[in-house]
Amino acid sequence: MSEKLDLLYQEFQQALCGSASRAETLDLKAGYLGSKGKLSSILKSLKDMSPEERKQVGSKSNEYKNKIEADISAKLQALDSEEISKKLEKQWVDVTLKDSNLDLGLNAAGYHPVTLVQREIEDIFSSMGFDILDGPHIEDDWHNFGALNIPSDHPARDMQDTLWFPDGVHLLRTHTSPVQVRGMESKKPPFKFIVPGKVFRAERTDASHETVFHQVEGMMVDKNITVSNLIYFMKTMLSEIFKQDVKIQLRPGFFPFVEPGFELDMYTEQLGWLELIGCGMTHPNVLRAGGIDPDKYSGFAFGMGLDRLVMMRYAINDVRLIHSADLRFISQFRSF
Ligand code: FA5
C-alpha cells in the first residue's frame, strides 16, 4: 500500500506538470483530494486494514495529502503570475512616448468661448465685491420653484419646460435662480453674489434655444436697494464685456420671484435686439422664504443667458454651435 501511495503521488506530480490552467489544476485537486478522489478513497479504506498497516498508511497518506495541497497552491500561484506577465507583455504603455499629432483640447483649441466669457464675468463681478457661488444641477421642487414664489398650482411652472425625476420632487434645475435661495440660506444680509452654471429645459431647439444652456444668476440684498442699483450693475457689466457703452432696453417682464420684473434686451448690429437678461426687485415672499425680513431689506436679482451673451460677443448666429463639440468652431477662440 505504501508503494501504491508513492506511485499515486508520482502520477499526481506528472499530471500537475501538464496542467496549463487554473481550471485544470482545480480539477486535478478534486481528482485526488475530493470526496471521491484517489487519495480520499485510500483514506476511506483505512478502516479495513490491520492496526499496524493503518498507522503506517494513515500517516503516509496524510503526508501526501499535505504535499498535494502545497503543490496545488504553488501551481496556482505560478499560473497567476504567468498570466499577469503575459498581460503586461501585451498591454504595456510607454508613458514617455510623445505623439506630436495628438489634439489636446487646450493646445489645439484654447478655452471654450463660454468658459472665456464666464471667467470675464466672474472677474468683473468679483472686482465689484460680489461672491461667486455654485449650486447643484439636481434640485428639489422647493428650491427651483416653491421658495421662488411659484407654488405647485402656479401656471408660471409651465413657463419653463421641466425635466423631472420619476419621484416628482427632484428635477434638473431649469434656471440658476434656486441658488438665490441657497445663497439666502447660507448668508446674512448685506450680501451680493453671482452664480454661473448649466441649466436644463425640455425645449425644442432652434438658433437661439438649447436644451442645456448656461445662465449667470445674480443677487444683491441690502438696505434701500432700488432699480437704479440693478441698472447700474447690468450696464457696468455689459460695457466691460463689450468694451463700449452698450445699448440696452428694459421691458416689463413677469417672473414670480421679482416685483417689478423686467426683460433686458441688448442691441448689436449683427444680431439686432436679443433678449438677454431676466431681472427685477426681489419679491418679499422670496426674501421671507430665505429667512430675510422684507421690511428691513430689499434686493435685486437677475438671470442672464450666458450662451446668448457669448453669441453677441463673438457674433455667433446659432446657439447650437456652442455644444456642438466641433473643433473647427471651438478653435476660432484660441486668441482670446
Ligand atoms: C429665467 O430663467 C429667470 N430665472 C431669470 C431671472 C432671474 C429673472 C432673476 C428675474 C430674476 P428666462 O426663462 O427668461 O428666465 O431665462 C433667462 C435667460 O436665459 C433669457 O433671457 C435667455 O437669455 C436665456 N435663455 C432662456 N432660454 C434659453 C434657451 N433655451 N437657450 C439659450 N438661452 C436661453
**Residue 30 C-alpha to ligand 1 middle, in angstroms?**
71
Point out the ligand 1 atom lying closest to the alpha carbon of residue 277: 21
Q: Is the pLDDT of residue 98 over 60?
A: yes
Could you give the percent of the chain with pLDDT greater than 70?
A: 96
Ligand 1 site, CB within 6 A? 160, 175, 177, 201, 203, 209-210, 213, 215, 255, 257-258, 261, 275-280, 301-303, 305, 307-308, 319
Three-state DSSP state, 289? helix
Residues 329 and 270 in one domain: yes
pLDDT score of 335:
46
Residues 71 and 123 in one domain: no
**Residue 201 C-alpha to ligand 1 middle, in angstroms?**
11
Range of the domain at 61: 2-91
Residues 159 and 276 in one domain: yes
Which residue type does 236 have?
Answer: T
Residues 67 and 126 in one domain: no
pLDDT score of 307:
95
**Residue 110 C-alpha to ligand 1 middle, in angstroms?**
27
Residues 217 and 278 in one domain: yes
112 against 258, higher pLDDT: 258
Within 35-137, residue ranges assigned H as helices are 38-44, 51-91, 105-109, 113-127
- Indicate the number of domains in the chain: 2
Instruction: Read off the pLDDT of residues 244-265 as tens digits, 9 standing for 90 and up.
Output: 888 899 999 999 999 999 999 9
Q: Is the pLDDT of residue 103 over 70?
A: no
- Nearest residue (by CA) to ligand 1, atom 13, is 160
Is residue 248 assigned to a domain? yes
- Flag the least confident range among 153-157, 163-167, 182-186, 254-258: 153-157
Domain boundary among 91, 113, 141: 91
Residues 181 and 271 in one domain: yes
Cα 218 from Cα 303, distance rounded (Å): 6
**Residue 269 C-alpha to ligand 1 middle, in angstroms?**
22
Domain boundary among 56, 91, 126: 91
DSSP code of 213? E
Mean model confidence pLDDT for the chain: 89
Residues 85 and 110 in one domain: no
Domain boundary among 91, 117, 134: 91
- Nearest residue (by CA) to ligand 1, atom 25, is 305
Percentage helix, strand, coil for the chain under 3-state DSSP, each rounded to 5? 50, 20, 30
Instruction: Read off the pLDDT of residues 115-131 as tens digits, 9 standing for 90 and up.
Output: 999 999 999 999 999 99
Instruction: Read off the pLDDT of residues 27-71 as tens digits, 9 standing for 90 and up.
Output: 999 999 888 888 888 888 888 888 888 888 888 888 889 999 999
Residues 208 and 62 in one domain: no
151-155, Cβ contacts within 8 angstroms, sequence gap of 24 or more:
154/256
Question: DSSP E strands: which ranges in the chain?
Answer: 131-132, 138-140, 170-172, 191-200, 212-222, 248-252, 258-268, 272-282, 298-305
pLDDT score of 109:
54
37 against 213, higher pLDDT: 213
- Per-residue CA distances from 165 to 143, 152, 168 (Å): 15, 16, 6
- Nearest residue (by CA) to ligand 1, atom 7, is 303
Grid look-up 446668448 returns: 308
Is residue 96 assigned to a domain? no
**Residue 205 C-alpha to ligand 1 middle, in angstroms?**
14
Residues 71 and 108 in one domain: no
**Residue 235 C-alpha to ligand 1 middle, in angstroms?**
18
Is residue 213 assigned to a domain? yes
Q: pTM for the whole thing?
A: 0.70
First to last CA, the chain: 90
Residues 125 and 266 in one domain: yes
- Flag the least confident range among 37-46, 144-153, 253-262, 276-285: 37-46
Ligand 1: which of 175, 264, 265 to mutate, judged by most atoms within 8 Å of the beta carbon?
175
